[in-house]
Amino acid sequence: MHKRIIESIQANLAGSLVEVDLDGNRALITVTSAQFAGKSRVQKQQLVYGCIDEFIKDGSLHAVTIRTLTPD
C-alpha cells in the first residue's frame, strides 16, 4: 500500500515529493509541492486527502496525519 499511496499523490500533485510512514492502517504522510504555494493549511490538506480518499473509503487507512510543505 505504501507504493500505491505515493503513486496516487504524485499522479494528482505532479512534481511532488512524498514520504509515507505506515503503522498498520495509520499513516504519516509528508508532501512537498509547489502547488501548495498561496494555499491555506486546510486547502493543502484537502488536496492530499483527495489523493488518498480511496484508501480511506476502503478502510486501508484509518488515521492519517498530513504534513504539507512547499519547496524552498
- The pLDDT tens digits of the residues spanning 37-59 come to 999 999 999 999 999 999 999 99
Tell me the whole-structure pTM to 2 decimals: 0.93
What percent of the chain has pLDDT above 70? 100
Could you identify the residue written with the cell 488515521? Answer: 63
Q: What pairs with residue 68 in β-bridges?
A: 31
Residue 6 banded pLDDT, cuts 50, 70, 90? very high
Nearest one of 38, 57, 58, 60 to 68, comparing CA atoms: 38
The reported pLDDT for the residue numbered 72 is: 79
Domain 2-69, CATH: 3.30.300.90
Q: What is the mean pLDDT of residues 10-20?
A: 96
